[in-house]
Chain A
Amino acid sequence: MVDQPLMKNDEIVRLEKAEKLYQMGMQEVHALAGVTVSFRKGSFWAIMGPSGSGKSTMMNILGCLDRLTSGRYFLEGKDISSLDDDSLSELRLRHLGFIFQSFNLIPQLTVQRNIELPLYYLGWDSIRSAKRAEELAEEVGLGGRLHHRPTELSGGEMQRVAVARALANNPHVIFADEPTGNLDSATGEQILELLVRLNKQGKTIIMVTHEPDIARHAHNNLHMIDGVIDRIE
């Protein structure tokens, strides 16, 4: 199964002998040392492992933010291992959504403008964008906060804005990097419920976390250690 080059119809991402090398001073570090794995469409994965295990690198590769040193990466059946920077940007813009531990909202923009950001790069007009931003804010439970600045919001609210922004381009895959890391457990639980709900609506969710309590919400857990897959649960 591992060496099977053909994609199954319901596979959304697939790594084949993926390697990522970093030059750390004089030393070469294998952040990914030959990973072969595939995720099904509509699945909810939690990638776990201690720091330095390669889980963040895995996330960056899958999220098209970084490129493999060797090996191949298929996204929705297409080999994207050799795409250039602009094409990767285009992929992120059209098909992927991101949620980060530290929210990563732009502080000088209002909630509405933050949510509209992907739509701006997609070239949507302002009326359509505003309507979409309103719908999304409603969906994540942020109605009435559209004209606030991120700094006026609580952590949970900021992460809701980030989720709304990640959903703006109607992505196939949502990447969540420690989405609850900066939130208290009750608020974290709410964000997770939101992710579970999105997953039930058909979104593929790939989440990086080191907390087993959080990972419990995912269908599958992938444990990494020293750049290789330790075990899959």
Chain B
Amino acid sequence: MHKLRSFLTMLGVVFGVGSVVAMLSVGEGASKEALEQIRKLGSNNIIISAVKSAEEEATSTQHSHMSIYGLTYEDYRRLAESFSNIKKSAPVKLLRKESRLRERAMELRLVGTTPEWFELVPREVIAGRVLLSADQNKKAPVAVLTEFGARKILATENTIGQTIRIGGDEFEIVGIVKSESGQAGNIQIPDQQIDVYIPIEVARKYFGDIDRKRTSGSWSMEKVELHQIIAQVDNTENVESTAQAIEVMLKRFHKKKDYIVSVPLALLKQAEATKRTFNIVLGSIAGISLLVGGIGIMNIMLASVTERTREIGIRRAIGAKRRQIVLQFLIETVVLSTTGGIIGLGVGALIPFLITYFSGMMTVITLGGVLLPLLISMTIGIVFGLYPAMHAAKVDPIVALRHE
């Protein structure tokens, strides 16, 4: 066997297997990424967010105008009471407030909510505790910080039990949780790094529903009762129908479209569709490469059979049976294609690495993603090696021995 020729022949299989490995790892990465996003959002959750309607956006530039929009306490009550599918829900009131501890100050996002929040958006508790219903009942001025916020504002001080000033009022820090900030597709993750969680009753009592903002020398006022409602549906199958029903209900009670219903599950489906497209495209490329690689191997093996006619004749004269000649050539082809497969595995492992490096897309190489291409390359060897091997076995030893 010519070394260079064998190597060049193998290249087809190398790239074929390479693209299979790349395809599998990118696909695997995409689905893992999607699952990660769903985990952050909660796969059975429906997130209803308040948005300024288009008309409101237009008029709010006027002086001393108060925009009233968004979700209401009534919406929350109705949602919790009238949908049997919804097992848990949490109202969310969002305010931006300056917070300080002695000389350190930063703007935090105040999240007024109920203890259910922590069940709907499960995050690791680093220290202390989360909000309790007792806080709610007592209207206790307690706050739960995120890890990030705690580091920024509390620095080295003992965390739990500290009192920080938020807006004009003092709150006792009772716990610290981890945060999963970031974007999941086009849906904002419910929590942020700069969150501080307080009981919603306290937020309402201390800060009211009207938010004053000073923008370019003039005051603007907004009245928003609730910024978000997170609802958890009992069963994944009911998520989309429930989301539609919520949409219908809100439409009845809201004159303007000042809310958005988002479903993390839809994101998962979108991710799966993307993955499918990816797999089809890469799969076709891989398939074509493997086919071309296989034909290349068949071609070289046929040439090799012709070149080695005399060798075949010698082996047959000595007593080798036809099937032993078939086996010999088949093994050579499989060795060739499997070697190509192993090199291809290396190339294929490099591609996802480069994709991750340059695009940040998550890629995962699994055991199956390694074994399958090897299996494919062996199969290629058998399929495309069979014809040349049969060809070799048909050689007539008498003719072959006279062959020059």
Q: Which of B315, B316, B319, B398 is in CB contact (< 8 Å) with A90?
A: B319
A29 within 8 A of B: no
Asked if A93 contacts B398 (CB within 8 A), the reply is no
B209 within 8 A of A: no
- B397: A residues at CB distance < 8 A: 65
B288 within 8 A of A: no
Separation of A21 and B98 alpha carbons in the complex (Å): 109
Separation of A85 and B326 alpha carbons in the complex (Å): 14
Known: A60-B398, A104-B310, A121-B324. A65 touches B315 (CB 8 A): no
Chain A interface size, as a band, is 20 to 34
A45 within 8 A of B: no
Asked if A92 contacts B318 (CB within 8 A), the reply is yes
- B398: A residues at CB distance < 8 A: 60, 65-66
Known: A65-B397, A104-B401, A106-B311. A117 touches B322 (CB 8 A): no
Asked if A86 contacts B321 (CB within 8 A), the reply is yes
Q: Which of A60, A86, A165 is in CB contact (< 8 Å) with B318?
A: A165
A210 within 8 A of B: no
Asked if B322 contacts A106 (CB within 8 A), the reply is no
B320 within 8 A of A: yes
Chain B residue, CB-CB nearest to A57: B398
Asked if A104 contacts B321 (CB within 8 A), the reply is no
Residues 318-352 of B contacting A (Cβ, < 8 Å): 318-322, 324
Separation of A60 and B396 alpha carbons in the complex (Å): 12
Cβ proximity bits A90-126 to B, threshold 8 Å, 1 near / 0 not:
1111101010100011100000000001100110000
Q: Which of B310, B314, B319, B401 is in CB contact (< 8 Å) with A89?
A: B319
A-B contact count (CB 8 A): 51
Asked if B318 contacts A106 (CB within 8 A), the reply is no
Q: Which of B311, B313, B320, B401 is in CB contact (< 8 Å) with A121?
A: B320
Q: Is the interface of B mostly helix, strand, loop or mixed?
A: helix
Separation of A94 and B318 alpha carbons in the complex (Å): 9
- B310: A residues at CB distance < 8 A: 104
Asked if A98 contacts B317 (CB within 8 A), the reply is yes
Separation of A81 and B314 alpha carbons in the complex (Å): 22
Chain B residue, CB-CB nearest to A165: B318
Q: Is the interface of A mostly helix, strand, loop or mixed?
A: helix
Identify the interface centre among A94, A100, A104, A105: most chain B CB within 10 Å of its CB: A104
Residues 137-189 of A contacting B (Cβ, < 8 Å): 165, 169
Chain A residue, CB-CB nearest to B319: A93
Chain A residue, CB-CB nearest to B1: A108
Q: How far is the CB of A151 from chain B (nearest CB, A)?
A: 14
Q: Which of B319, B322, B324, B401 is in CB contact (< 8 Å) with A92?
A: B319
Chain B residue, CB-CB nearest to A104: B314
Asked if A93 contacts B318 (CB within 8 A), the reply is yes
Asked if A89 contacts B311 (CB within 8 A), the reply is no
Separation of A77 and B160 alpha carbons in the complex (Å): 105
Chain A residue, CB-CB nearest to B314: A104
Residues 168-216 of A contacting B (Cβ, < 8 Å): 169
Known: A106-B311, A121-B324. A100 touches B318 (CB 8 A): no
Q: Which of B311, B313, B318 is in CB contact (< 8 Å) with A118?
A: B318
Chain A residue, CB-CB nearest to B397: A65
Residues 293-323 of B contacting A (Cβ, < 8 Å): 310-311, 313-322
Known: A65-B398, A104-B310, A104-B401. A98 touches B322 (CB 8 A): no
Q: How far is the CB of A106 from chain B (nearest CB, A)?
A: 5
The 6 closest A-B pairs by CB, nearest first: A93-B319, A92-B319, A89-B321, A104-B314, A118-B318, A86-B321
Q: B residues near A, CB below 8 A?
A: 310-311, 313-322, 324, 397-398, 401
19 contacts between A and B (CB under 8 A): A65-B317, A65-B397, A85-B321, A86-B322, A89-B316, A89-B319, A89-B322, A90-B319, A91-B319, A92-B319, A93-B318, A93-B320, A94-B319, A96-B319, A98-B317, A104-B314, A106-B314, A118-B319, A121-B319
